[in-house]
Amino acid sequence: MARRSEHSLEEIKEMILKAAEDIIVMDGLQALKVRRIALEIGYTVGTIYMVFENMADLIMHVKGRTLDELGDFLDEYSPDVPSDQQIVILAKKYLEFANQNYNLWSMIFEHRLSKDQAIPEWYQDKVDQAFVRIEKLLAQLAPGYEQPYVHSAARAIWSGVHGICILSLTDRLSYVEIQKIERNIMLLVENFIRGWVLTSESNH
């Protein structure tokens, strides 16, 4: 025992994160235990505390990964359509990601760190990267509003899309059910934009 050096610390860290993700995808966040991760990667519990401070730290890193994946997924949007349709497409992609990766996605919002623990800066950056990027994309599509107002509108409509997702989605829905949610998202986004553009025009 001890001093195996079969894997570098970086490799072990990667193995742990991969194992944790697998467990969450299969059985949800509640099924994530140190001993199970240890078993899955062929090390003992102590090893996990070599590369992560504690469980909360490990979970934050899994959440960070999911945010990265979400960002990458949303970047694959197709820019060869009318502006107002792009928002709908982006919103649909968000729904698709949330549905396909439900246990990982919902974990981002379910898990709250205890009051004394501050949100790590690197994590907050990832949140910003994922969501502010969305807001920027939406803001590009805006008519001649003032910058801060555009930002608010983007944030409002995007929160709205997220609200529909979080209240509608459960573990794994059928295609028909997803289509219903898609229609609700379109309802919200299209009517909002229609009302918004209308106000813009009457201002000029």
CA 99 to chain centre: 11
Name the H helices within the chain. Answer: 9-27, 34-41, 45-51, 55-75, 83-100, 102-110, 121-140, 147-168, 175-203
The residue (of 17 and 185) whose beta carbon lies closer to its own copies is 185
The residue (of 55 and 108) whose beta carbon lies closer to DNA is 55
Would you say the C-alpha torsion 183, 108, 138, 201 has a positive or negative sign? positive
Six-digit token pair at 14? 């990667």
Give dist(CA 57, CA 172) in Å, integer. 28
Exposure string of 58-92, with b = 16+ CB inside 10 Å and e = fewer, is bbbbbbbbbbebbbebbeeeeeeeeeeebbbebbb
Pick from DNA, its own copies, none: which does 27 bind, CB < 5 to 8 A by kind? Answer: its own copies
Print the binding letters for residues 36-55 with DNA: x by CB under 7 A, - otherwise: -------xxxxx-xx---xx
The residue (of 68 and 110) whose beta carbon lies closer to its own copies is 110
Q: Which residues bind its own copies (CB under 8 A)?
A: 27-28, 30, 106, 109-110, 112, 114-115, 152-153, 155-157, 159-164, 166-168, 171, 183-185, 187-188, 190-196, 198-199
Give dist(CA 28, CA 33) in Å, integer. 11
3-state secondary structure 26-59: HHCHHHCCHHHHHHHHCCCHHHHHHHCCCHHHHH
Q: Select the residue interacting with DNA from 32, 87, 98, 107 (CB under 7 A).
A: 32
Pick from DNA, its own copies, none: which does 25 bind, CB < 5 to 8 A by kind? Answer: none
In the complex, least distance from residue 167 CB atom to its own copies, rounded to whole angstroms: 5
Pick from DNA, its own copies, none: which does 62 bind, CB < 5 to 8 A by kind? Answer: none
Q: Select the residue interacting with DNA from 25, 35, 133, 191 (CB under 7 A).
A: 35
In the complex, least distance from residue 188 CB atom to its own copies, rounded to whole angstroms: 4
6 contacts DNA (rule: CB under 7 A): yes
Pick from its own copies, DNA, none: which does 143 bind, CB < 5 to 8 A by kind? Answer: none
Residues at the interface with DNA (CB under 7 A): 1-7, 9, 12, 32-35, 43-47, 49-50, 54-56
